[in-house]
A = this chain, B = another copy of it.
Amino acid sequence: MPPTLEEVAKLAGVSRSTVSRVINQQPNVRPEVRERVWEVIRQTGYQPHAAARSLATRRTRVIGLVIPQAVTTLFTDPYFPIFMRGVADACNAHNYHLMLSLFSHRRAQGAPTSQDALYQQILRSRYLDGVVVSSATLDDPVFHHLLEDGVPFVIAGRYPHERANYVDVDNVVGARMAVEHLLRLGHERIATITGPLNMFAAQDRLEGYRQALTARGIPIDEHLIVEGDFTEQGGQAAMKRLLPYRPTAVFAASDMMAIGALKALREDGLRVPEDIALVGFDDVPLASMVDPALTTVRQPIEQLGSMAVELLISLLENPQRETVHRVVLPTELVIRASCGVRVR
């Protein structure tokens, strides 16, 4: 049996309150007493009981990372682990713990509980001080529940609700930079493979594509816009549908889709970048390792995760419910071989 506050107090010859003050770094404890208490804490290996503390303080120091409908994407795309590392690092740095809520597409066999019920349970049982939501679709019910239950939350990705705090990357500008680069290289028939359009990230990248072309006075050809799903297979399939329309360049809204497109082009005997230029988005590690190396838009994925957590924590620790916080991180064009520019 691990020691309790009570026991530590007895051993140190003080009251529980004093020990409590010591472990909570509160003032108003005589230095020598403080030292004596620390000594006992060290010797006994005392550690406060999390549940007891939570019950008293009404805070858990646990934040949840909610990833709704864990589509296959998440597990093929390197985005996810990198993002999570950012999240985990920030939690560690601030002494918070991380609860992971992944909801698989398929209903778990043993559980009669729906994803919706699981949300409710986790959110309302007050396991969590706050929540980071990632990769949700626009209409995900989690937002409804979060708002209704008044759970503080931060979204990784834009979300246009008046009470939604979020951290996002500048998808519009990133995509525009990519397409502008292709335009500069002389391309005019530029196609795009979008992400699933029920996600804002996908919508925003498409918007960037549109803006770049429009600014150049090039009319949008809807045949050159095909919806993908952020996966490699999706990119490959989308590219096949694009081929009949003979684009000279393609902007894929994710690196994995670009890699899929690369495959489709190869199968069709087309060379990249000689016959067709290709640009991706994300700059995942794989992007620089494929042949030809992918020109792409780098987004600070890990930082996105850290920032989301840090924003959430700042919300938790100074509750200024009035203001809504939004952060947009910049993206950066990384030029490699696949767009046809000769790199040194």
Contacts and interface: CB of A to CB of B under 8 A. Distances in A.
By CB atoms of chain B within 10 A, which of A50, A62, A70, A111 has the most? A50
Contact of A92 (B45, B54, B95, B118): B118
Contacts of A97: 99, 101, 122, 127
Contacts of A51: 50-52, 54-55, 60, 126
A68 to B, nearest CB: 12
B95 A98 contact: no
A343 interface: no
By CB atoms of chain B within 10 A, which of A51, A98, A285 has the most? A51
Interface in A79-93: 80-82, 84-85, 88-90, 92-93
A289 interface: yes
Nearest to A122: B97
Given A81-B81, A82-B75, A98-B100, A2 B124 contact: yes
A89 B104 contact: yes
A108 interface: yes
A51 B59 CA distance: 9
B108 A76 contact: no
Contacts of A45: 124
A236 to B, nearest CB: 9
A200 to B, nearest CB: 23
B75 A75 contact: no
Contacts of A127: 50, 62, 97
A314 to B, nearest CB: 13
A100 B103 contact: no
Given A92-B104, A104-B88, A111-B92, A47 B120 contact: yes
B102 A84 contact: yes
Given A45-B124, A85-B104, A92-B102, 18 more contacts: A2-B124, A47-B120, A50-B54, A51-B52, A51-B60, A52-B55, A62-B99, A62-B127, A74-B81, A75-B78, A75-B82, A75-B85, A85-B102, A88-B100, A89-B108, A92-B103, A92-B108, A98-B99
9 contacts: A48-B125, A49-B126, A50-B54, A51-B52, A51-B54, A75-B81, A88-B101, A95-B111, A97-B127
Interface of A: 2, 45, 47-52, 54-55, 60, 62, 65, 70, 74-76, 78, 80-82, 84-85, 88-90, 92-95, 97-104, 108-111, 113, 118, 120-122, 124-127, 232, 263, 285, 289
